[in-house]
Amino acid sequence: MSSTTSVDHKATREAMTEQVTAFLANPAGWPAAMAARALRLRAGHPAYSPNNLALIVSQLWARFESEGLSEEDAFTAALNAAAEEIAPRYIWAKRGFTPTGGGLAIFSRPLTLWVDPVTGKKVDKDTAGAVQRTVFRIETTYRAADVVDAAGESGAVAFTAPELPEGEARVIFERLARWITGQGWTVERSGAEMAEGGYTSHAARRIVVHGGLTEWAAVEVLAHEIGHALMHGSEDTRPYAGEHRGDMEAEAEAVAYGLLTAWGQSERARGAARYAGEWTRSPERVAAAYEKACHVIDALAAVASGTENVTLAAAVKEQKLQAKADNKALAAALRQAGLEPKGEAWKRAKAGEPTDTIAAELAA
């Protein structure tokens, strides 16, 4: 679809819904949900606890601000840096790296010891009257950017994702990445192994795609994460849990499905349909998710085709559905007040007047 940006939404939605129906009826033989890894990356250090992550972010925030960044830019940079590879000195030593500075203080794992309640000194646990205490040590950890190997190469290089292979998929990936970067987001291909194919951080306005994904697998995940970036976040009042989480995943994957289908990637699109079906277990919910994602699909299709200065249109169909729901609720409120939703009562209610005021004045 390199010569046009038009997507047949009716046909694409129906195809996705039919595939979800078929998958739920018989899941055997379907391609993997989301994209399988093309290669395994270097294992990273396990994620730190939320408390330690907060400590790391606060220290990096202060560091970047002292280097001249504004408070807001320093905070964003700290969030992004905290998501990079960070490990203790002994881990870096095993990898052949030595810290050059920039140590970050964190708490150790909880340590159990026994103390004499009178002297406060550490004693054997079998000591009469000994009291058990849980304590923490202060330890130091380091970013990949703050360690070097014997050749003087930064540890960050070791955790750089391999380049995407040449070809159409790479061109489209780069176009999508440039476009969403222009919307104030950052896009990164992870150089460390991670469980997810990708993830989106609305707080940091950051999208990460597994660096082991190549070609159309990488495009699928990036399109999915852009869907999350543009449709979800603080503006979406739904909790990211339960059925709402399923709907959000289906909405994001509908973006990937629409793009893959438009570029003839039918087998990978079947995997996208499976992913949406696994999250929703409902063809009807997938159809609704696709409807909500249409405007994002249109934008990404235009960007992928090479169109310049693409802007995201409003979700027209969603707006119509919301307007219909608002009218229904307003009509119910008028009826509850003893008024029919028509004529002067309807006109005044639509203008924002309280229904009890309208009812009182019309009854006078």
**Domain ranges (residues) in the chain:** 9-41+162-304, 50-106+138-158, 316-363
Q: What is the pLDDT along the chain (364 residues), one digit of tens a residue?
A: 444 568 999 999 999 999 999 999 999 989 876 655 455 677 788 889 999 999 999 999 999 999 999 999 999 999 989 988 999 999 999 999 999 999 999 999 999 999 999 998 999 989 999 999 999 999 999 999 999 999 999 999 888 889 999 999 999 999 999 999 999 999 999 888 888 899 999 988 999 999 989 899 999 999 999 999 999 988 888 888 888 899 999 999 999 999 999 999 999 999 999 999 999 999 999 999 999 999 999 999 999 999 999 999 866 556 666 677 788 889 999 999 999 999 999 999 999 999 999 999 888 6
Of 350, 244, 329, nearest to 236 (Cα)?
A: 244
- What's the pLDDT at 36? 53
Alpha carbon 338 to its chain centroid, in Å, reads 47
DSSP labels, 115-184: E-TTT--EE-TTSTT-EEEEE--EEEEEEGGGEE-TT--BHHHHTBPPPPPSSHHHHHHHHHHHHHHTTT
Q: How far apart are the first and last CA of the chain?
A: 65
What is the rounded CA–CA span in Å between residue 222 and residue 289?
18
- What's the pLDDT at 172? 98
| Whole-structure pTM value | 0.74
DSSP labels, 214-228: -HHHHHHHHHHHHHH
What is the DSSP pairing of strand 138-143 with strand 104-107?
antiparallel
> By three-state DSSP, how is residue 185 classified?
coil
**Alpha helices per DSSP H over the chain:** 9-25, 50-66, 71-82, 89-94, 155-158, 168-181, 215-231, 242-262, 266-280, 283-304, 316-336, 343-350, 355-363
- What's the pLDDT at 87? 95
> By three-state DSSP, how is residue 111 classified?
strand
What is the rounded CA–CA span in Å between residue 317 and residue 23?
27
- What's the pLDDT at 2? 44
Query: For the CA atoms of the chain, what is the radius of gyration?
Result: 27
Of 262, 287, 263, nearest to 273 (Cα)?
A: 287
